[in-house]
Structure formats: C-alpha cells, structure tokens
Amino acid sequence: MRVLCLLTTLATLLAAPAFANADRLLICEDRDNDGRFGLVELTLAPAARDAEVMQPNLGTYQTCTAAIAQQGACNGSALCACEDRDRDGRFGIVRHPYPTTGPTVLEANTGNYFTCRDRLAAYPARNDRYLTCEDYDNDGRFGVVSHALVVQTPTASVIQPNIGNYYACTQQAASTAQCQGNAYCGCVDADGDGRFGIVRVPSRLASSRVTQPNIGAYGACFSNMNWPDWVD
C-alpha cells in the first residue's frame, strides 16, 4: 500500500513499488461534493511500455547486431534488439525502457524473420516480458525469445500545482489531456494550504473502493490515513 500524499516534496509525491501486476494506494476524495472527504483505495495497473527505436534501417540483421555491440546505451542490463518493423528488409536497433534479467528461447528456428514475427501474435501481451525474434547462430532461422523485464516504479509528477479548491482541481483534471488513457490523475493538497494540484501517475486505474466515507474536511481525511504506517 502507498499513500498518494507525501509531506516532503511535491517532486516525489508518490513512492510506489515496482509494479508486477498492480498496486494499491490511498487517496482522499469527495465524490458527492458535499465537503466531506473519504478514504478511497485505488488499484492501479501499470501502463504497458514498448521498445523505442534508437537507430532505424541500419541494414541486414548481422549489420544491426554488430551495431548494438557499439552502443553504450545497450550495455549492462539494458535490453536492445534488432527489428524490422516495416518489413522492408532493413533492421534497426530498438531499446526497451525497462532493464532485463535475461532471455529465454520460447521457440527455436521457426523460419525466416517474418515467419518468426508472425509467431509472436500467439503469445499474450505482458508487462513483465518483451518478445523478440533472434538468430543466435546466424543460420537464417529466427526463434522467439522472451526477455524478462524488471518493471520500473512509475513516478508521480505534479502537472498543475495550486489550482484552487478541490472542485476546481477535479474539473481541471477531467479536461487535461495528460490525464486521459493509461494514466491516473488525482487532486492533492500536499502542503495543506487549501490549494489542490493535479498529480499524475502513469498507470491505469483498474478499480476503486471507498474504505471510509465522509470523514470530514480534507485535513481530517488525510490524518486518518495513518500515513507513516503506509509509506515505506
């Protein structure tokens, strides 16, 4: 459990764990706009992340793998692979934002690269792995390889501080583009000055549950969190 409020700095407003599947946190909300805040437990699921293209269209698979060896950003636990996403015969380097703990060959020697890529559709998408097609022995036959990912802690960020009262903040959050899709936004008054700001976590809201309704003013709700017991 984590509390979506810290009393230290707004820059590190949430200290969530590494999300394997989902995590829960607490926040104070006034859902019926009656001025009484209640404790709400949220279950958040991490947004899926994909590998990003570092260098496109280098050439053959062998040319691309040789280029990876020269990339400092691909050293250590970084996951870099060669992919031909547009199927034009030219491979480029992609790098996943999460580090990896190592590969596992799921299917060896399925055929050429495009045959292997078609096989990837048979595997369900998961946040804790990234699938590639690789030709370890350079015989022209690619196999499906699963790279275990170390899912990183999503960092909360204050995207609009000190908007005003809670209701002005929630209205602003509802119309903020950064709060749409695979992101959760909440309104928090971390310094207790009566002005709420929008805090964004790059995770999808899976479910929510009111644990204590209508406690009272925001400060009273916040004090009911017993936050030292919740925050690591």
pLDDT tens per residue, range 185-200: 899 887 889 999 999 8
Global pTM?
0.57
pLDDT of amino acid 184 = 86
Indicate whether 87 pLDDT > 90: yes
Tell whether the model's pLDDT for residue 175 goes beyond 60: yes
Phi, psi of 180 (to 5 degrees): -95, 160
Q: What pLDDT is attached to residue 23?
A: 66
Q: Check residue 47 and give its pLDDT.
A: 63
What is the rounded distance in angstroms from the CA atom of residue 147 to the CA atom of residue 102? 6
> Alpha-carbon distance 226 to 188, whole Å?
16
Phi-psi region of 121 (alpha: psi -120 to 50; beta: other; left: phi over 0): alpha
Q: Where are the domains of the chain?
A: 2-47+154-230, 52-149
Neighbours of 33 (CB within 10 A): 9
Beta bridge partners of 158: 199
